[in-house]
Amino acid sequence: MAVCARLCGVGPSRGCRRRQQRRDPAETAAADSEPDTDLEEERIEAGAAELCSEWSGRSSSPSPPPRCSLLELPPELLVEIFASLPGTDLPSLAQVCTKFCRILHNDTIWRRRCREEYGVCENLRKLEITGVSCRDVYAKLLHRYRHILGLWQPDIGPYGGLLNVVVDGLFIIGWMYLPPHDPHVDDPMRFKPLFRIHLMERKSATVECMYGHRGPHNGHIQIVKKDEFSTKCNQTEHHRMSGGRQEEFRTWLREEWGRTLEDIFHEHMQELILMKFIYTSQYDNCLTYRRIYLPPSHPDDLIRPGLFKGTYGSHGLEIVMLSFHGKHARVTKITGDPNIPAGQQTVEIDLMHRIQLPNIESLCNFNELSRIVLEAQEQVRQEQQRQEDRTEDGEGSGPPTEVREPENEGAAPLKEEPVQFVLPVGVSSRNENYPRTCRMCFYGTGLIAGHGFTSPERTPGVFILFDEDRFGFIWLELKSFSLYSRVQATFRNADAPSPPVGGAAPDLVTWEEQQHALWRFDLLTRAPTFL
């Protein structure tokens, strides 16, 4: 009623309060959705008369300026005003009075909300042919499933994955992003649809599974909690192929690796590929997804953080996330393998220990590079030991230790301008088409482990920054080189929400408020005066 007082310019009447006191919540909600026109007009007139008599009795006070009520504005102007409001506020506005509820029936309002809030650029006027209104699209599709828009990581054991749920025309589609075929790390990402949601006439939204090669079929989506949801296929026979498992494996191999098993001569690599097919096939009917956010970007970052594709030997190409954390940078796996699973921190870069590479002739010598890296490792170890000693002595963290660049004879000048770069002899690389110049290098550590993530350990290495979109890492112990290339894609709804002013509020409060807003949309959709 306070909203009513502000919008209409009159106060709530006592009769309105008495009716609300006599009704239970369900009757009140139904009454609000179908307001009584005669009683409402009587309340407005009585309130206006009361205000006039009150002001006329104050002869000593100057006459107040005339008050303009929203009810007096023409409908076309109210349409423009309401169309500029957030869609989540419109259900409350519809319960103010019959006039507002009738105006909110105008599809122009909902067409604008679909476009501005969810980027729907389709010609929504075509919906009139199918009998679906823009309000139906907003309330039953976009608003109802807004919680699953954004980036997600599927729970597929060590392999993980990257799912991007977007509004695509009049559909909500879940696209699984796949790295390019090994070893072409600079090629664009591949993607395939896993599910889609759309409206069938004026009914509720329909969920369809897109897995397999026999077209869309019946599926189900369940929002487990705020940052987690699951999908289930109700017709898994659509995933099977007439040629049995052998045909399914050959088809999967062409899609996943772009080749046949006969083209892969490395026996260990064949075993890894077959193992991944068997493992991931168990998840073709039911998957759980957990939300991930893109890391924030700061002006002091070495390069812009984000998603990259990287080469990982026999495991092929994998997707990683580069993020910056003060004096360190981290590379975290979004997709993984049986040795280092998804979610693990594969590389850590120490931004306080820059490495000065030798000249191009000395760089070809692996022993020379190893000596420089091990010197940096020893310097880091000594600084950590001094830090621990100060902490034990109760001196606190103290001032930062001065960083000393490793000394090496015949070294190139320490500049940010590009310098020549070549891999040392004996260092293997899946992609020989790596950049031949780099901007700077830093000491770092890489995570290695046995099959099943057994005996994990961090080993020294070199982080090489080539340009804004590419970097590399030399694994000293493995004598291996990984090349990373930026994922060139724009992701909506992928940024972490800003913390509330005055401290972080519990997620549960926000979640309950969102669920209440969804309930009000359901009430609005069922309101007879809105049909």
The size of the chain, in residues, is 531
Instruction: Give the per-residue pLDDT at 228.
Output: 93
Q: Is 38 left (phi over 0), alpha (psi -120 to 50) or beta?
A: alpha
What's the rounded mean pLDDT across residues 292-298? 94
Alpha carbons 326 and 34: distance in angstroms, whole number: 57
Write the single-letter amino acid at 88: T
Structural domain ending residue among the three candidates 288, 314, 349: 288
Which domain does 343 fall in, by range?
A: 300-382+417-497+505-518
Structural domain ending residue among the three candidates 141, 169, 190: 141
The number of domains in the chain is: 3
Structural domain ending residue among the three candidates 141, 167, 196: 141
Alpha carbons 144 and 140: distance in angstroms, whole number: 6
Domain contains 366: yes
Q: Which residue has the higher pLDDT, 402 or 67?
A: 67
Domain contains 89: yes
Domain co-membership, 151 together with 88: no
Domain co-membership, 105 together with 88: yes
Domain co-membership, 330 together with 346: yes
Domain contains 41: no
Domain co-membership, 153 together with 169: yes
Domain co-membership, 156 together with 132: no
Is 70 exceeded by the pLDDT of residue 211? yes
Query: Element (H or E) spanning 391, and its range?
Result: helix 366-392
Domain co-membership, 453 together with 509: yes
Domain contains 352: yes
Domain contains 13: no
Q: Write the CA distances from 409 to 116, 362, 368, 372, 378, integer angstroms.
A: 61, 10, 10, 11, 19
Q: Which residue has the higher pLDDT, 261 or 339?
A: 339
pLDDT digits 0-9 by tens, 457-467: 999 999 999 99
Is 50 exceeded by the pLDDT of residue 32? no
In this prediction, residue 411 has a pLDDT band, given cuts at 50, 70 and 90, of very low
Domain co-membership, 276 together with 305: no
Instruction: Give the per-residue pLDDT at 446.
Output: 97
Domain co-membership, 231 together with 336: no
This prediction has a pTM of 0.77
Q: Write the CA distances from 217 to 25, 236, 518, 520, integer angstroms.
A: 40, 9, 27, 31
Q: Which residue has the higher pLDDT, 199 or 185?
A: 185
Q: Taking a C-beta distance cutoff of 8 angstroms, is the pair 357, 415 a contact?
A: no
Query: Element (H or E) spanning 330, and its range?
Result: strand 328-333
Domain co-membership, 331 together with 350: yes
Taking residue 54's Cβ as centre, other Cβ atoms within 10 Å add up to: 9
Q: Taking a C-beta distance cutoff of 8 angstroms, is the pair 333, 344 a contact?
A: yes
What's the rounded mean pLDDT across residues 186-196? 94
Alpha carbons 217 and 37: distance in angstroms, whole number: 47
Instruction: Give the per-residue pLDDT at 42.
Output: 54
Taking residue 308's Cβ as centre, other Cβ atoms within 10 Å add up to: 22
Instruction: Give the per-residue pLDDT at 301.
Output: 94
In this prediction, residue 128 has a pLDDT band, given cuts at 50, 70 and 90, of low
Domain co-membership, 278 together with 220: yes
Find the farthest-apart pair of alpha carbons in the chain and give their distance in angstroms, rounded. Answer: 101
Domain co-membership, 304 together with 447: yes
| Tokens, residue 326 | 């003060």
* Burial 74-89, CB ≥16 within 10 A → b, else e: eeeebeeebbeeebbe
Radius of gyration over every alpha carbon of the chain, rounded to an integer in angstroms: 31
Domain co-membership, 135 together with 165: no
What's the rounded mean pLDDT across residues 83-112? 86
Instruction: Give the per-residue pLDDT at 315.
Output: 92
CATH number of the domain at 86, please: 1.20.1280
* Counts of helices then strands in the chain (DSSP H, E): 15, 19
Domain contains 65: no
pLDDT digits 0-9 by tens, 320-359: 999 999 999 999 999 999 999 999 999 999 999 999 888 8
Q: Which residue has the higher pLDDT, 24 or 228?
A: 228
